[in-house]
């Protein structure tokens, strides 16, 4: 009974995040605590898809005068909510949202892209790859909406372009191009390379390069290395993030793991701004599309030369709700 109440409180956090993000679940999501948790999850997910579909239909109305709401049920995306306590920065609840909908009246090569979160994650389409614990720039925690064009989509490589606005009523425009290559090195190893060129009105031009390497050590052990470097008019030299994760899959959709991460900017007063390690646990919860990740760890942040680097504890969890096929 106590576990069910804890889960229900987590779902209430998820519902609250939807209101903060401006996505309204239906009335059923606001019923009493006696309601079943699975029904609450289903209602939140349904509310997300309905809201995203309506937004995509509005964008597609620029291409046609005839709109059928049923044509916009192909939305695919995720919502994450991350309560975290950090000895260095205190308690915070972070959240991010991303959705993509193919527009049927734009030759099905154009899609509507809607999101809220870090701009770099948005243009790189890598919301879940970057380590959760890497600090986000609060200035970038804004709504973004745009259109994507995918002229080349193959099994091992793709090319896409996009344009839109970020910053809510500020209407800060952006454009980006993205090329992604996925190669199989051998039966246990894969490499993913991605290059993104972008421009946005508030920050100018930039280029981001991402390298991912996945390696299956055995049926239960899995290793993932990830690094991204970004150079732009707004960065101080090369801004880079890196992460090394090792997972042990002990049950279907359940794993424990360990992670090391680093990030910094080469021309910053403190080139290495943070590094750390954490132990984590990730599992599917209730539904095939709902996940819970918890972690505890230590990191060594330092933002100024005068600051003394010392270990800081962090504890947190992440709720991730996926929707679409």
pLDDT tens string 5-59: 455 455 555 554 444 444 444 444 444 443 466 777 787 777 777 777 777 777 7
- Cβ atoms 311, 36 nearer than 8 A: no
Q: Where are the domains of the chain?
A: 2-323
Look at residue 94 in the predicted model and tell me its pLDDT: 84
Of 159, 226, 160, nearest in space to 190 by CA:
226
Specify the higher pLDDT residue, 307 or 95. Answer: 307
Of 83-97, 110-124, 165-179, highest mean pLDDT: 83-97
Rounded CA-CA distance 67/81 in Å is 33
- The H-assigned helical ranges of 179-277 are none
Look at residue 130 in the predicted model and tell me its pLDDT: 55
- Give the 3-state secondary structure of residue 317: strand
pLDDT tier at 166, thresholds 50, 70, 90:
confident
Strand 239-251 relative to strand 221-232, pairing = antiparallel
Please give the CATH number for the structural domain made up of 2-323: 2.40.160.40
pLDDT tier at 115, thresholds 50, 70, 90:
confident
The rounded Cα 165 to chain-centroid distance in angstroms is: 18
Rounded CA-CA distance 56/50 in Å is 10
- Cβ atoms 197, 227 nearer than 8 A: no
pTM score above 0.95: no
- Cβ atoms 18, 47 nearer than 8 A: yes
Look at residue 31 in the predicted model and tell me its pLDDT: 45
Specify the higher pLDDT residue, 129 or 147. Answer: 147
- Give the 3-state secondary structure of residue 10: helix
Please name the residue that has the structure tokens 């101080």: 236
Spell out the long-range contacts of 33-37 with Cβ–Cβ below 8 A and sequence spacing 24 or more: 33/5, 33/8, 37/4, 37/7, 37/8, 37/11, 37/286
How many percent of the chain have pLDDT more than 70?
Answer: 80
Look at residue 262 in the predicted model and tell me its pLDDT: 94
DSSP string, 116-172: EE-HHHHHHT-TTTS-TTSPPPGGG-EEEEEEEEEEEE-SSEEEEEEEEEESGGG-E
Give pLDDT tens digits for 231-249: 988 778 899 999 999 999 9
Look at residue 1 in the predicted model and tell me its pLDDT: 44
> Looking at residues 131-148, what average pLDDT do you find?
64
- Cβ atoms 165, 146 nearer than 8 A: yes
Rounded CA-CA distance 16/169 in Å is 22
Angle, helices 2-21/37-60, rounded to nearest 10 degrees: 20
**4: its two tokens:** 């069910």
Specify the higher pLDDT residue, 88 or 94. Answer: 88
- Give the 3-state secondary structure of residue 21: helix
Of 124, 239, 241, nearest in space to 174 by CA:
124
- Give the 3-state secondary structure of residue 247: strand
């Amino acid at each position: 009974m106590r576990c069910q109440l804890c889960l229900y409180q987590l779902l209430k956090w998820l519902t609250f995040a939807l209101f903060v993000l401006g996505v309204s679940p239906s009335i059923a999501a606001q019923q009493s605590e006696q309601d079943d948790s699975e029904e609450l999850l289903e209602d939140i997910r349904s509310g997300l898809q309905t809201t995203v579909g309506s937004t995509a239909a509005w964008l597609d109305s620029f291409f046609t005068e005839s709109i059928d709401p049923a044509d916009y049920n192909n939305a695919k995306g995720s919502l994450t909510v991350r309560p975290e306590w950090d000895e260095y920065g205190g308690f915070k609840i972070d959240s991010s949202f991303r959705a993509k909908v193919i527009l049927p009246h734009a030759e099905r090569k154009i899609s509507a892209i809607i999101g809220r979160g870090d701009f770099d994650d948005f243009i790189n389409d890598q919301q879940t790859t970057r380590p959760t614990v890497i600090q986000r720039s609060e200035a970038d925690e804004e709504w973004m909406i745009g259109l994507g064009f995918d002229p080349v989509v193959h099994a091992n490589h793709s090319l896409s372009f996009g344009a839109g606005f970020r910053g809510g009523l500020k209407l800060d425009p952006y454009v980006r191009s993205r090329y992604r290559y996925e190669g199989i090195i051998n039966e246990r190893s894969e490499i993913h390379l991605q290059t993104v060129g972008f421009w946005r009105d508030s920050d100018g031009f930039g280029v981001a390069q991402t390298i991912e390497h996945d390696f299956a050590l055995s049926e239960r052990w899995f290793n993932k290395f990830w690094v991204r470097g970004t150079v732009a008019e707004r960065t101080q030299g090369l801004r880079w993030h890196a992460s090394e994760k090792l997972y042990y899959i002990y049950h279907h959709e359940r794993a424990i793991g360990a992670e090391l991460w680093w990030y910094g900017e080469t021309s910053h007063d403190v080139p290495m701004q943070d590094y750390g390690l954490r132990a984590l646990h990730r599992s599917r919860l209730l539904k095939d599309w709902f996940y819970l990740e918890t972690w505890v760890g230590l990191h060594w942040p330092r933002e100024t030369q005068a600051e003394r680097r010392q270990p800081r504890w962090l504890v947190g969890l992440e709720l991730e709700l996926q929707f679409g096929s």
